[in-house]
């Protein structure tokens, strides 16, 4: 039984109220591992461009849980059996889907720790499962896609999962980019299951098209906004320099668990060893966005000019200048900015690659994979969205769009 009535309802500006329906969900949310997500922003440094974007992984996880419960109700109403245990496990799985995110989420993935957040997440889930006496078994099976009812996994992770439905809607809400709103309610009402696969009733086709387009808008307007990219690259350069100094035995002062990650590499193999994993996880769970920002403030006065310059830039929001375009930058273009930089900062000549560099971003992270969305027609046939839609050009969709950037400092 849930402890008291008071704790079961959470206010959410996006959906109104979110009920915590299951004891397992309650116990996960109360756990320090999950509470930590309150201090990790959903959109990393995006708040430097969209000041409203201070929402956290904690809010997103609750929101995704809310949507998954709506979806389960819809599927049950359409005659698909889902037991209470399965519903509880599915809720737990979605609550934990981002548990492996570290400070600044995607921005520092692979900078601070050398593995995907999913890998860390799995280690954390295993640990939590031990603490919860194995109550996460079914949730982990659903998460891993090995539980028999595959569609439950697809609710948690697929092209139409509640993760995407929630983050698009939530990011649209908090950035104020209202036209990125996704009809999450309508899409969920149209979900169905055929042959153990999640599909969308044909009536929902326009909402799916809109979902795909809204996702594109959110990419370029928000997630890959050039100033957001510029800020993320700055943060990455800062951590890279701090790690570099650490390897050279000159680790800059910082909150202690953070220092662990500046001096050590975290790889899949570390994490496969239980003892080692346990230590890494415990360090990892101690850091969040605040540690990075405090470190950056402290590093402003560090004797290393590269580190202190980058630290000052991020602290005062004096970001890299950035150009973003469809074609690559030539070496000459980069060189030109590099020369200007060196002229201004001759003492940093050797480190100009920290301040002038090129790279690319693409919507790969959100790309439609081979598992496309199927539309269920009234006659029972299943048609791939790319064929079902008049508007959406299969070719355009499958193409990864890459943009190239040149970051530089004056």
Min dist CB 72 to a copy of itself, Å, is 15
Determine if 84 is a binding residue for a copy of itself (CB under 8 A). no
- Which one of the spans 129-137, 140-148, 262-270, 390-398 is the region binding a copy of itself (CB under 8 A)? 390-398
Q: Which is nearer to a copy of itself, 30 or 371 (CB)?
A: 30
Q: Among 56, 90, 91, 157, which residue interacts with a copy of itself (rule: CB under 8 A)?
A: 56
- Distance separating alpha carbons of residues 352 and 339, to the nearest angstrom: 9
- Distance separating alpha carbons of residues 233 and 350, to the nearest angstrom: 19
Among candidate residues 195, 188, 118, the one with its CA nearest the CA of residue 151? 195
Task: For residue 145, give every residue at least 6 positions away whose Cβ sits within 8 Å of its Cβ, in sequence order, or none.
Answer: 153, 157
Tokens of 279: 């230590």
Determine if 51 is a binding residue for a copy of itself (CB under 8 A). yes
DSSP SS3 for 383: strand
Min dist CB 256 to a copy of itself, Å, is 7
DSSP SS3 for 321: strand
Min dist CB 241 to a copy of itself, Å, is 20
DSSP SS3 for 300: coil
Determine if 394 is a binding residue for a copy of itself (CB under 8 A). no
Q: Among 76, 110, 130, 297, which residue interacts with a copy of itself (rule: CB under 8 A)?
A: 297
Interaction pattern, residues 217-256, with a copy of itself; x per rule: CB under 8 A: x--xx---------------------------------xx
Determine if 58 is a binding residue for a copy of itself (CB under 8 A). yes
Determine if 10 is a binding residue for a copy of itself (CB under 8 A). yes
Query: What would the DSSP string read from start to end of 184-230?
Result: HHHHHHTEEEETTEEEEEGGGHHHHHHHHHHHHHHIIIIIT-HHHHH
Binding to a copy of itself (CB under 8 A): which residues in 110-149?
Answer: none
- CA distances to 20, 62, 67, 116 from 58, rounded to whole Å, are 14, 6, 15, 19
Q: Which is nearer to a copy of itself, 173 or 408 (CB)?
A: 173
- Distance separating alpha carbons of residues 223 and 161, to the nearest angstrom: 19
CA 167-170-172 angle, 5° bins: 105
Q: Among 197, 270, 315, 358, which residue interacts with a copy of itself (rule: CB under 8 A)?
A: 315
Tokens of 205: 């086709």
Determine if 349 is a binding residue for a copy of itself (CB under 8 A). no
Q: Among 24, 43, 62, 277, which residue interacts with a copy of itself (rule: CB under 8 A)?
A: 62
Q: Which is nearer to a copy of itself, 203 or 305 (CB)?
A: 203
Determine if 298 is a binding residue for a copy of itself (CB under 8 A). yes
Residue linked to tokens 């060893």: 273
Q: Among 119, 132, 293, 394, which residue interacts with a copy of itself (rule: CB under 8 A)?
A: 293
Q: Which is nearer to a copy of itself, 115 or 313 (CB)?
A: 313
């Amino acid at each position: 039984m849930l402890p008291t009535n008071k704790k079961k309802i959470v206010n959410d500006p996006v959906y109104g109220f979110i009920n915590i329906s299951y004891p397992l969900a309650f116990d996960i949310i109360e756990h320090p591992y999950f509470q930590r997500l309150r201090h990790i922003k959903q959109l990393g440094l995006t708040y430097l461009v969209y000041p409203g974007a201070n929402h956290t992984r904690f809010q997103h996880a609750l929101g995704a849980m809310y949507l998954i419960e709506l979806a389960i109700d819809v599927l049950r109403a359409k005659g698909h059996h889902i037991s209470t245990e399965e519903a509880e496990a599915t809720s737990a799985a979605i609550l934990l889907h981002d548990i492996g995110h570290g400070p600044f989420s995607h921005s520092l993935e692979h900078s601070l720790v050398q593995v995907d957040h999913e890998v860390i997440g799995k280690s954390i889930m295993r640990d939590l499962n031990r603490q919860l006496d194995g109550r996460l078994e079914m949730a982990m099976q659903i998460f891993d896609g090995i539980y028999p009812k595959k569609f439950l996994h697809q609710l948690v992770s697929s092209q139409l999962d509640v993760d995407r439905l929630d983050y698009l809607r939530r990011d649209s809400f908090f950035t104020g980019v209202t036209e990125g709103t996704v009809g999450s309610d309508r899409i969920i009402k149209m979900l169905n299951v055929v042959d153990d696969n999640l599909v969308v009733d044909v009536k929902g086709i326009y909402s799916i098209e809109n979902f795909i387009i809204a996702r594109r808008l959110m990419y370029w307007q928000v997630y890959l906004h050039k100033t957001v990219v510029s800020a993320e690259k700055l943060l990455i350069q800062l951590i890279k320099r701090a790690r570099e100094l650490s390897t050279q035995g000159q680790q800059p002062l910082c909150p202690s668990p953070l220092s662990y990650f500046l001096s050590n590499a975290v790889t899949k193999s570390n994490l496969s060893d239980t003892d080692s994993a346990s230590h890494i996880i415990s360090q990892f769970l101690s850091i969040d966005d605040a540690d990075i920002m405090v470190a950056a403030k402290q590093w402003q006065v560090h004797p290393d000019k590269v580190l202190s310059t980058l630290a000052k830039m991020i602290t005062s929001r004096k970001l890299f200048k950035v150009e973003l375009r469809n074609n690559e930058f030539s070496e000459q273009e980069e060189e030109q900015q590099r020369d200007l930089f060196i002229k201004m900062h001759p003492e940093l000549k050797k480190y100009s690659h920290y301040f002038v560099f090129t790279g690319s971003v693409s919507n790969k992270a959100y790309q439609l994979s081979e598992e496309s969305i199927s539309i269920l027609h009234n006659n029972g046939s299943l048609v791939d969205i790319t064929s079902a839609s008049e508007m959406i050009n299969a070719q355009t969709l499958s193409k990864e769009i890459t943009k190239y950037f040149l970051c530089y400092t004056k």
